[in-house]
Structure 1
Amino acid sequence: MKGTKERVLQLLKHSNTILSGETIAQQLHVSRTAIWKAIRELERIGYKIEHLANGYRFIQSNLLEAEEISFEHLPVNQIFITKETQSTMKLAKIAAMDQHATPALFLAETQSGGHGRFARPFFSPPGQIYMTLLLKANQSFAELPQYTILAAVAVALAIDEVTGKNCSIKWVNDIFLDQKKVCGILSEATSDFESGQISYVTIGIGLNFCLKQTDFPIELQEKVTALFSDTEPTITRNELIQKIWQNFFELIDGLPDQSYLEYYRRKSFVLGKVVRFTQQGQDYTGKAVAISAQGELIVETADGQKILSSGEISLSQIG
């Protein structure tokens, strides 16, 4: 049974009018003092509640809430939110070792040791989106869906759908807005030594939600941005997070249909451009001409066609 604090929150959230302390107390059958204490506790947690002469009014906040994120594929009891952690990827991996029920979503307000591909550090100020989805696989590596590409499509779709903005995808795992990185995606698999099967998959997403451009470190200001860098958010983090994973599971449910690859290709700002990359210690320059059905980037170089797979190269420049 929900406590007074939770019931006060739900009442205020779903009310279209200002509610007096007396009205809330009568509806919940508790004292006015209990209502006052509940509101103080809600504000301490981070909820915004306007105090007016005739009562209280809930103000939409940027607080992460499992109840606002959950949907059919991700019930409330499978969503775990923490204030600070080293990384949500680490939380998910620990859960995998404990054979945690899946799918499970781990979120944090801030990370002390977030990282992207090739262990690159990830700038993780409070108030953004840091999350990792844990999935149970029990498949061979060759049988695994293209989780990184599916997640990139899910994020890009969500951003465009709920904000009206037009983002693009940098092969293979970054989302860009106005030619700057706004989101990074990292997928990792854990194998079972005895069976040789992939037992768990973790999909980590770091998304800059609302942060002024001048609040990024100087060395990042020309390279990265936030979804809302110069305006107030028009949506909540909860709404965007829910939409991302709704899209993701819809794509998973639609497999083996690969129409998502066409969207991924349309959103690519790498295709048709000159790229520089390193493969097996050799530097190459060429034109990105296609993305294969396996999600590989195909580049025409002076040394012939090169096929780039996730994990073996790093795009160093886009011209």
Structure 2
Amino acid sequence: MTTKEKILLLLQQSDVVLSGEKIAQSLTISRTAVWKAIKELEKEGYQFDHLANGYRYLSTDLYNAAVLQKELPMIPTIEASDATESTMKEAKLAALDPTVATPALFLTETQIGGHGRFNRPFFSPKKQGIYMSLLLKPNQSFQELPQYTVLAAVAVSEAIDALLGKKTAIKWVNDIYLDGKKICGILSEATSDFESGRITSIIIGVGISFSIPQTDFPAEIRDKATSLFAGGETPPFSRSALIAEIWTRFFALLAQLPNDDYLDRYRQKSFVLGRTVQFTQQGVTYTGIAQDITATGELVVQTAHEQKILSSGEISLEKY
């Protein structure tokens, strides 16, 4: 951790004003070094009160890997960037690097080439969303793997509920909705070793619209998507707080396996079950009732003539 990061962490964790002298003594550096670090942090967007008796941190919603590391000790590698093509790509490159300790979390303020399922572009305005990917190296067979997308959906949905005080819902298999509009998309990708048949890496990408004004959404998705704070209000919690809550819950769910309680929680949050859905397979469009979600995360749909089991793809349903 750099001197600048250490000073930031000290000030963020302090409930009182810290003098330059006290900071310098704590880190065994000069007061000039403290002053220079504060100036550098302010250039990066952090804000501090400059008082007669020292410095006080003013809350700013910027990512800080050092602070998140303290909240998420189960993730040894956390990297935050100002901009990147996509966090999924960052995670894929890291998966090839044997020196990267995993689990590894990659965050960015904006994505230039972010995408969701079917390679659709993901709207990623700077500092108004959470764009992140988690790299895991489970070294398991496909049969042994838990349903990571389902686990992540439960963790994200319940984390938002806990901090926001509202109830979110899940659309099979990977979208989180609030007040009838999409606020989050989740994408999971696995890489396997051909010879051993083992899964070498899992990457879970999560994109959350956090504080995007409703009028800023592109016209083609404005009626379908929203953000947690779309009305311009000041969020009562930071993006970092939500990130910490999500992955704390995710790893708690992982630790409870093979208990499949998360599947029951996923089903309870689904707004698809019991409703009429449409889907297309091999060029044929089917209509049926979504009846269940299996232990492996598949959607069971009863059509007029047969039961269909969907392991992937996309469904549509009446306006939620």
Deviates more, 1:58-67 or 1:135-144: 135-144
Partner of 2:270: 268
C-alpha distance in structure 2 between counterparts of 1:136 and 1:103, whole Å: 7
1:190-201 superposed matches below 5 A: 190-201=191-202
C-alpha distance in structure 1 between counterparts of 2:310 and 2:9, whole Å: 50
C-alpha distance in structure 1 between counterparts of 2:28 and 2:120, whole Å: 54
2:14 pairs with 1:15: yes
C-alpha deviation, 1:21, in angstroms: 4.7
**2:110 partner SS:** strand
C-alpha deviation, 1:34, in angstroms: 3.6
C-alpha deviation, 1:131, in angstroms: 0.9
Partner of 1:131: 132
**1:151 partner SS:** helix
Cα distance 1:23–1:144, how it changes in 2: closer, same or farther (>3 A)? closer
Cα distance 1:91–1:24, how it changes in 2: closer, same or farther (>3 A)? closer
C-alpha deviation, 1:26, in angstroms: 6.4
**1:10 partner SS:** helix
C-alpha distance in structure 2 between counterparts of 1:317 and 1:247, whole Å: 30
**2:74 partner SS:** coil
C-alpha distance in structure 2 between counterparts of 1:61 and 1:102, whole Å: 28
C-alpha distance in structure 1 between counterparts of 2:271 and 2:122, whole Å: 22
1:228-239 superposed matches below 5 A: 228-230=229-231, 231-239=233-241
| Alignment check: 8 A CA contact 2:87 2:132 kept | yes
Partner of 2:305: 303
Cα distance 1:139–1:10, how it changes in 2: closer, same or farther (>3 A)? closer
Cα distance 1:32–1:94, how it changes in 2: closer, same or farther (>3 A)? closer
Partner of 2:225: 224
Partner of 1:97: 96
- Structure 2 regions of 5+ residues with no counterpart? none
CA deviation profile, 1:57-77 (whole Å, cap 9, x unmatched)? 2111111112222223113xx
CA deviation profile, 1:90-148 (whole Å, cap 9, x unmatched)? 11111112233321111111111111111111111111111111111222222211000
C-alpha distance in structure 1 between counterparts of 2:35 and 2:287, whole Å: 66
Relative to the length of structure 1, the TM-score reads: 0.91
Partner of 1:106: 106
Partner of 2:81: 82
Cα distance 1:193–1:134, how it changes in 2: closer, same or farther (>3 A)? same
C-alpha distance in structure 2 between counterparts of 1:185 and 1:8, whole Å: 35
| Alignment check: 8 A CA contact 2:5 2:66 kept | no
What amino acid sits opposite 2:155 in the alignment? Answer: A
Cα distance 1:131–1:121, how it changes in 2: closer, same or farther (>3 A)? same
2:223 pairs with 1:189: no
**1:229 partner SS:** coil
Instruction: State the percentage of identical aligned residues.
Output: 59
C-alpha distance in structure 2 between counterparts of 1:309 and 1:163, whole Å: 31
CA deviation profile, 1:164-183 (whole Å, cap 9, x unmatched)? 12111000001111111111
C-alpha deviation, 1:53, in angstroms: 5.7
C-alpha distance in structure 2 between counterparts of 1:183 and 1:208, whole Å: 6
What amino acid sits opposite 1:246 in the alignment? Answer: T
What amino acid sits opposite 2:125 in the alignment? Answer: P
What amino acid sits opposite 1:318 in the alignment? Answer: E
C-alpha deviation, 1:219, in angstroms: 1.6
Cα distance 1:33–1:198, how it changes in 2: closer, same or farther (>3 A)? closer
Partner of 2:145: 144
Partner of 1:210: 211
**Alignment counterpart, residue 257 of structure 1, candidates 256, 259, 264:** 259
| Alignment check: 8 A CA contact 1:276 1:318 kept | no
C-alpha deviation, 1:29, in angstroms: 6.2
What amino acid sits opposite 1:13 in the alignment? Answer: Q
C-alpha deviation, 1:248, in angstroms: 0.9
**Aligned-CA RMSD value:** 2.0
Q: Aligned residue pairs: how many?
A: 314
**2:229 partner SS:** coil
**2:138 partner SS:** strand
C-alpha distance in structure 2 between counterparts of 1:73 and 1:26, whole Å: 30
- Structure 1 regions of 5+ residues with no counterpart? none
Relative to the length of structure 2, the TM-score reads: 0.91
Cα distance 1:115–1:52, how it changes in 2: closer, same or farther (>3 A)? same
Partner of 1:67: 66
C-alpha distance in structure 2 between counterparts of 1:253 and 1:29, whole Å: 40
Partner of 1:50: 49
C-alpha distance in structure 1 between counterparts of 2:260 and 2:146, whole Å: 10
C-alpha deviation, 1:89, in angstroms: 0.7
C-alpha deviation, 1:302, in angstroms: 1.6
C-alpha distance in structure 1 between counterparts of 2:30 and 2:301, whole Å: 70
C-alpha deviation, 1:27, in angstroms: 5.9
C-alpha deviation, 1:16, in angstroms: 2.4
Partner of 2:162: 161
Cα distance 1:36–1:281, how it changes in 2: closer, same or farther (>3 A)? same
